[in-house]
Amino acid sequence: MINDTLQNRRFVIAGVITAIVLLYIVRLFSLQILDDRYKEGADSNAFLKKTQYPPRGLIYDRNNTLLVYNKPAYDITLIMREIRDLDTLSFCRALNIDKKFFIKRIAEIKDRKRNYGYSSYTPQVFMTQLSIEDIATIQQSMYKYPGFYIQNRTLREYAFPHAAHVLGSIGEVSQKRIESDSYYKSGDYAGRDGVEYTYEKSLRGEKGVEILLRDAKGRIKGKYEDGRMDVAPKAGSNLILTIDIQLQVLAEKLLDGKIGSVVAIEPKTGEILALVSNPTFNPALLVGRQRSKNYAELVRDPTKPLMNRATQAQYSPGSTFKPIQALVTLELGGINEHTRFSCSGKGSTPIKCTHSHGSPVDLLNAIEQSCNPYFWQAFRSTIEKDGYGEKNKNFKHSFDQWREAVLSFGFGHKFEDSDVYEQTRGNIPSEKFYNRYFGETGWRAMTIRSLSIGQGEILATPLQLANSMAAIANEGFYITPHLNKNDTMQKRIHTVMVDKKHFPIVNEGMWRVFEFGTGRRTKIPDVSMCGKTGTVQNNHGKDHSLFVGFAPRENPKIAIAVVVENAGFGATWAAPISSLLMEQYLNGKVARTEMYDHIIMSTTNSDVKKR
C-alpha cells in the first residue's frame, strides 16, 4: 500500500526534471536571443581587426600645383593583454629608447585618467609617427615581442612652407570627437583646423579593415574567411583649393616682419585667391612627433602666430568703410549723386577732416579725399531723414534700415555657408545695443557719429572687408568667399541691399583714389584700379594701415583687403602691398622692384621674427 502513494512521487521527480530543463531553455533563450553583449564579446575575442588606414587626400592649389601630400609613418601599438615574456632591454634598444621612457609610456597608457578608453584588450598607441629609419631595426625582430604591432600611417608633407592657416593641420583625435563620431578610434588622426578640418570627411577616405583570426593565446591563425570579409581602405578624395600659391607666397613675403593679414578674392566666383595672416609658421612644424613641442612653442609666442588674423581678427575699418557708407546712404536717400556738404578741414565739428581739400565737396571728391565731415553729414541725413519722431521711433527705424543694408555686404556675421574655418563675426552695432547702453531715447545721430567714418563700435574682419570689395566690384552681389574650387560653392550668391545704379559713382570715386588720391603713388601702370586706404586709430599704439580695393576697374579679377597693424598710414603700407599683389595676380609678375624691395626689407613690428 505504501508503494502506491510512493508511486506518485515519480510525478514530483518528473516535474523537477522538466522544470530544470525548461529553466535551461529559458536561460539559453536569454543568452542567445535576447542578449547582444556576447556576440560583441565573441568578435573582439576571436577577431583581430587590423585597421587599414587609407592615404589621405592630396591638396592642390587653383593651378593644380601640389601643396600637401603624404609620407609613410609608423606607429608602434600594443595590446597589453597579449604582451608576454617581454625582453624590455632588447625592445628598448631596437626602438632606440631608454627604459625609463618605456616604463613611463606604459604607465601613461594604463592610466585611465589620461588614457580614457584604455582597455587591455584593445590596441593602444605606444609610440607614434616614427619614420622608416626609426623602425628599421625593430621591424625584423617584431615577432620577438608578442603584443606589439607596427601600424602603418601617413603623415602630411608640405611642398611649400606656406599657407599654414589655410591648410590647417592634422592631429590625434580628442576624446570628445571620438564620442561624437563613431568613425574615430582612439589614436586616429583627423584634421584639427583649416581645410584639413573643414574637408575632413572627404580627405580622410574610408578606413579599411583586415580581419584576422586569433586564438586564446593571441596567435594569429590566418585570415577570416580568406579575406572575403576584409574591407579595403578607400583613399581620401583630393582637394583643389581656390588659393593661388604664387600669390599666397608673395603675400606672406610682403607681410614678413609685420603683423597683419591679406585676403584676396576673385569677385566673380567668390574664390579666395590668398588668405594670409602674419606672423605665421611653417605647416611642417605641426607634423609628426615634434608636433606637440612646436605647438606649445607657437601657443606661447606673444605675437600669436596660431591665430588666423585674416578671419579672426576684427578691426574698425575706418576710411575703408566709406565706399560702403556711400552706397548705403545713396540707397537710403540720405544723399544723391550731386549732394554737396561743406568741410572746414581740421576745424570741422563734430568730426574733423584729416585731409586738406576744397569745400564744399561732392561724393566723388569725398571718396577721393576721404573727407570725414562729408560722410558724417551723409550718415546723419540718412538716419535722420524722417526726423526722430515719438520716442525716436523714426530715427531708430532709419538706423535699422542703414544697419540692414550694411549687413547685406557680409558685415556683422560669419559667412555661415563658407568653408573658411574659424571666422569671427565682426560687429555692426544694433539698435538694441545702443538702447541698452544709452537708454531707449538716450542716443541720437550725434551719439553714434563715429559709425559714419567706420570707427566706434564697427568691427570687421579682413575677410569681410575683401568680400565687401567683391560686392562693389560685382555691382551688387557677392558669392560666399570659399576655399574649395568646385562649382557648387559658386551657387551661394548673396545680393546686397543697394541698387545697381548707385555703384558707378562709388566705383569712380574709388578709381579716383588711385588716379588722384591717397593711392596714386601705388597705381600699377596701365591698369585702372579702384581702392580706398584707411588709417585707423586704435588702443595699441600706432595706427593700423588698411587698404581695400579691386582691379581692373572694367573687369574686376581681384578684390583685396590688407591690414598691417600699428604700421601707420594706409597709403604707406597696406596700399603698396595690395598693389604689388594685384600686379602679381594680373600680370603674373612684379615689375616694380623698388617698391617690392622696400616692402620686403621693412619691419613694422620688431616682435615679429623675420622668416
Partner 1 sequence: MSKNVSIKYALDWTTVAYFVLLVFMGWISIYGASYDFDQTSILDWDQRAGKQFVWILTAFGIGGMLLLVDYKMYNFFAYIIYAAVILLLIVTIFVAPDIKGSRSWLVLGPVSFQPAELAKMATALALSRFMSAYNYRIKNWKDLIPLMMFILLPFTLIILQKETGSALVFLAFTLMLYREGMNGIILLLGVFAILLFVVVIKYSIIPIGIEQGTLGILLASALILLVQLGYALFFSKHRRDALILLAGVAGVVVIAVVVNIWYKINFNYVAVFAVLASSVYWSFVALFKRFKKYWMLAAISFGAILFSYSADYLFEKVLEPHQQIRIKVLLNMEDDPTGAGYNVNQSKIAIGSGGLWGKGFLNGTQTKLKYVPEQDTDFIFCTVGEEHGFWGSTLVLVVYWLLLMRLLRIAERQRESFNRIYAYCVTSIFFFHLMINIGMVLGIMPVIGIPLPFFSYGGSSLWGFTILLFILLRLDASRLERMH
| Number of residues binding to partner 1, judged by CB under 8 A | 40
* Distance between CA atoms of residues 420 and 414, nearest Å: 10
Q: How far is the CB of 51 from partner 1 (least distance, A)?
A: 20
> Binding to partner 1 by residue 228, rule CB under 8 A?
no
Q: Which of 1, 4, 10, 85 binds partner 1 (CB under 8 A)?
A: 10
Dihedral pair phi/psi, residue 173, rounded to 5°: -70, 145
What are the residues facing 156 on neighbouring strands? 70
Q: Measuring CA to CA, which residue among 68, 421, 465, 450 is closest to residue 260? A: 465
Q: What is the largest CA-CA distance in the chain?
A: 138
> Binding to partner 1 by residue 386, rule CB under 8 A?
no
Handedness of CA 296, 301, 307, 312 (dihedral sign): positive
Q: How far is the CB of 82 from partner 1 (least distance, A)?
A: 12
The contacts of residue 529 (CB under 8 Å, 6+ apart) are 511, 514, 519, 523, 549, 550, 551, 552, 553, 579, 582
Q: Which three cell numbers stand for residue 400?
A: 535699422
Which range in 29-37, 284-292, 297-305, 454-462 contacts partner 1 by CB under 8 A?
Answer: 29-37
Q: How far is the CB of 14 from partner 1 (least distance, A)?
A: 6
> Binding to partner 1 by residue 24, rule CB under 8 A?
yes
Q: Which of residues 64-83 bind partner 1 (CB under 8 A)?
A: 81
Q: How far is the CB of 32 from partner 1 (least distance, A)?
A: 4
Q: How far is the CB of 213 from partner 1 (least distance, A)?
A: 6
* Distance between CA atoms of residues 164 and 514, nearest Å: 33
* Distance between CA atoms of residues 363 and 354, nearest Å: 16
> Binding to partner 1 by residue 18, rule CB under 8 A?
yes
- Our CB check for partner 1 shows the closer of 25 and 601 to be 25
Dihedral pair phi/psi, residue 148, rounded to 5°: -105, 140
Q: Given phi > 0 = left and psi -120 to 50 = alpha, else beta, which region is 319?
A: alpha
Q: Which of 214, 380, 403, 482 binds partner 1 (CB under 8 A)?
A: 214
- Our CB check for partner 1 shows the closer of 38 and 437 to be 38
Q: How far is the CB of 185 from partner 1 (least distance, A)?
A: 22
* Distance between CA atoms of residues 416 and 425, nearest Å: 10
Q: How far is CA 177 from the centre of its chain?
A: 18
> Binding to partner 1 by residue 217, rule CB under 8 A?
yes
Q: How far is the CB of 139 from partner 1 (least distance, A)?
A: 27
Q: Which of 14, 89, 107, 136 binds partner 1 (CB under 8 A)?
A: 14
Q: Which of 106, 213, 284, 497 binds partner 1 (CB under 8 A)?
A: 213
> Binding to partner 1 by residue 1, rule CB under 8 A?
no
Q: Count the neighbouring beta carbons within 10 Å of the beta carbon of residue 589.
A: 8
* Distance between CA atoms of residues 582 and 551, nearest Å: 7
- Our CB check for partner 1 shows the closer of 36 and 594 to be 36
Q: Which of residues 78-137 bind partner 1 (CB under 8 A)?
A: 81
Which range in 22-30, 336-344, 375-383, 572-580 contacts partner 1 by CB under 8 A?
Answer: 22-30
- Our CB check for partner 1 shows the closer of 44 and 152 to be 44
Q: Which of residues 31-60 bind partner 1 (CB under 8 A)?
A: 31-33, 35, 37-39, 41-43, 45-47
List Cα–Cα distances, 160 to 65, 67, 274, 277, 309, in angstroms: 10, 6, 14, 16, 20
Q: Given phi > 0 = left and psi -120 to 50 = alpha, else beta, which region is 387?
A: left
* Distance between CA atoms of residues 231 and 203, nearest Å: 18
The contact set with partner 1 (CB under 8 A) reads 2, 6-7, 9-10, 12-14, 16-18, 20-21, 23-25, 27-29, 31-33, 35, 37-39, 41-43, 45-47, 81, 213-217, 221-222
